[in-house]
Amino acid sequence: MSNSPSISELSPLMSNYGRFPVTLVKGKGSCVWDDKGNQYLDFTSGIATCNLGHVPDSVKEKLMEQLDNLWHCSNLYHIPSQQELAALLVENTFGDQVFFCNSGAEANEAAIKLARRYAQKVKGTESYEVVTFQQSFHGRTLATLSATGQEKIQQGFLPLMPGFRYLPYNDLAALEELCSDKTCAVLLELVQGEGGVIPAELEWVQQLEKICKENGILLMIDEIQTGMGRTGSLFAYEQYGIEPDVISIAKGLGSGFPIGAIIAKAEVAKAFDPGSHGSTFGGNPLATTAGLATVQHILSTNLLEKVNELAETFDTQLHQLKDKYSIISDIRGKGLLKGMVVQGKAMDIVKKAMEYNVLTLTAGPDVVRILPPLTATKEEMLEFFVVLEKVLQDF
């Protein structure tokens, strides 16, 4: 007899998410509440999405105004908030032009398409290959999971899309294998988030950039998890002394509203001529209003200075716990993107912290990923470490 649930017992939702037994219904600042009224300290930030905390007032006010005016229109027409947000991003990055979409995976899809089209239509070559790195994560569409250097993400979706090659991360010697006559671009994370919160080494990144520039290969940085102040600068590439050709962004850009984008140099961006790429909902008035308010808040306040101060304190306290508890073998990350290496106990620690009403994440079986809102207070940080120490005492 089958043990499968009957049709009447099946959830109307597909089972592709391993959900915790919590139903969240409200959020404000660093906290969320469930449907039973329980309050949680949220140090996941929606996986680096709610960087300004939940329902930030500066974004909410602008969205409420926009809700009374226009929700959606086609990209066949000009959208004021889209143009303003693009101008602000260009003004504060290396780039010249922006394309908007709905998510990080879509942003990386756009970057991959732009790289191929630039190589073939602008440069007139037959290049199409994008080099990525082992343990990377670039999304779950067919192209972006093919770009992702993790077999567990790719299982069951074979055959993968051709045109991707993976090299070891932070391996200087392996960069000798970077170039081929098929290679048009490199795509990398400066902190591998899903891959274990592993920062890129400065010398390796700078050597990678040098090889790309010498060989006419586009350098594309996946800033989806590291962007919007998460690592202590608006974008992580600023800390490496490099100038990419393209970056992909999403997550924290909209404070929870679905929005993604790529920013590119003009020479590269011109490969996207009319009709070459598009998105029905990408850059719509609501999403770009949220994005504009978010970026304006980050740039017009001392938020980045505060992130660096909090990150220094956060790092010190994490290392103090490492010295005290043998289960912790390493502390990794940049800014307020932290990984605590705990040798196969990551999910156990996440679940135990939830019992104390603190939310964290995993990054594989060995790493607890900690992503406080960039607006978290020192008191909330203290509360987090009080709980974390209680949790670690049980391991």
| Residues 228, 112 within the same domain | yes
The answer to whether 247 and 223 are in contact (CB under 8 A) is: yes
Q: Does the pLDDT value for residue 5 go beyond 60? A: no
Question: Mind listing the pLDDT tens digit for each residue in 347-360?
Answer: 999 999 999 999 99
Please indicate, yes or no, if residue 83 is contained in any of the structural domains: yes
Determine the Cα–Cα distance for residues 308 and 385; give it in Å rounded to an integer. 18
Tell me the average pLDDT across 305-323. Answer: 96
Residue with tokens 């239509």: 121
Query: Is the residue at 41 inside a domain?
Result: no
Residue 330 has pLDDT above 60, yes or no: yes
Please give the backbone phi and psi of residue 365, each rounded to the nearest 5 degrees, phi first.
Answer: -70, -15
| Digit-coded pLDDT (tens) for 276-287 | 999 999 999 999
Smallest Cα–Cα separation from 119: which of 203, 185, 207? 185
pLDDT at 304 over 50: yes
187-225: b (≥16 Cβ within 10 Å) or e: bbbbbbbbbbbbbbeeebbeebbebbeeeebbbbbbbbb
pLDDT at 4 over 90: no
Give the range of the structural domain holding residue 201, as residue numbers without chain letter: 57-300
Strands 39-42 and 358-359: parallel
Residue 37, domain member (yes or no): no
Q: Are 187 and 130 in contact (CB under 8 A)?
A: yes
Statement to judge: residues 71 and 215 lie in one domain: yes
Q: Is 101 within 8 Å of 107 (Cβ atoms)?
A: yes
Q: How buried is residue 137: exposed, middle or buried, by Cβ count under 10 Å (0-12/13-18/19+)?
A: buried
Shared domain check, 219 and 311: no
On whether residue 19 sits in a domain, the answer given is: no
What percent of the chain clears pLDDT 90, i.e. is strictly above it? 97
Which pLDDT value is given to residue 37?
A: 97
Residue 188's nearest CA partner among 204, 179, 176 is 204
Q: Are residues 293 and 316 in the same domain?
A: no
* Whole-number Å distance between alpha carbons of 188 and 192: 8
The count of structural domains within the chain is 2
Is the per-residue pLDDT at 376 higher than 50? yes
Any residues with CB less than 8 A from the CB of 17 and at least 6 apart, and which? none
* Same domain, residue pair 225 and 83: yes
Of 276, 300, 324, the domain-final residue: 300
pLDDT value at 120 more than 90: yes
**276 and 234 in one domain?**
yes
C-beta of residue 184 within 8 angstroms of C-beta of residue 118: yes
pLDDT of residue 10: 85
Q: What is the CATH number of the domain that holds 131?
A: 3.40.640.10
CATH label of the domain that carries residue 354: 3.90.1150.10
Is residue 45 one of the residues assigned to a domain?
no
% of the chain at pLDDT higher than 70:
98
In this prediction, residues 127-131 reach a mean pLDDT of 98
Do 291 and 317 fall into the same domain?
no
347 in the same domain as 334? yes
User: What pLDDT does residue 101 have?
Assistant: 98
Same domain, 252 and 308: no
**How high does pLDDT run on average in the chain?**
96
In a domain, 52, yes or no: no
Say if residue 358 is exposed, middle or buried (CB neighbours under 10 Å; 0-12, 13-18, 19+). buried
Q: Is the pLDDT of residue 384 over 70?
A: yes
Query: What pLDDT does residue 9 have?
Result: 78
**Claim to verify: residue 124 and residue 167 sit in the same structural domain:** yes
* Domain-terminating residue out of 272, 300, 328: 300
Contacts of residue 80, defined as CB under 8 A and 6 or more positions apart, other chains included, come to: none
Q: Does pLDDT of 274 surpass 60?
A: yes
The pair of structure tokens assigned to 232 is 């202590």
Last residue of a domain, one of 269, 300, 331: 300
pLDDT of 176 strictly over 70: yes
List the alpha helices (DSSP H) in 253-302. Answer: 266-269, 285-300
β-pairing verdict for 361-362 and 367-370: antiparallel
Is 166 exposed, middle or buried, given 0-12, 13-18 or 19+ CB atoms closer than 10 A?
middle
Q: Flag whether 9 is in a domain.
A: no
pLDDT in tens, 202-260: 999 999 999 999 999 999 999 999 999 999 999 999 999 999 999 999 999 999 999 99
- Is 145 within the bounds of a domain? yes
Question: Model confidence over 357-374: pLDDT tens digits?
Answer: 999 999 999 999 999 999
Specify whether 309 is located in the same domain as 283.
Answer: no
Q: Would residue 228 be called left, alpha or beta, if left means φ above 0 and alpha means ψ between -120 and 50 degrees?
A: left
pTM of the model as a whole: 0.95
Confidence class of residue 1 from pLDDT cuts 50, 70 and 90? very low
Q: 39-91, pLDDT tens digit by residue? A: 999 999 999 999 999 999 999 999 999 999 999 999 999 999 999 999 999 99
Residues 119 and 173 in one domain: yes
CA 135 to chain centre: 15
Sign of CA dihedral 9, 10, 13, 19: positive
| Whole-number pLDDT of residue 30 | 98
List residues bridging with 209 in a β-sheet: none
The residues near 12 (Cβ < 8 Å, ≥ 6 apart) are: none
User: Distance between alpha carbon 139 and the CA centroid of its chain, in Å?
Assistant: 10
**14-32 pLDDT per residue, tens:** 999 999 999 999 999 999 9
Dmax over CA atoms of the chain, in Å, equals 65
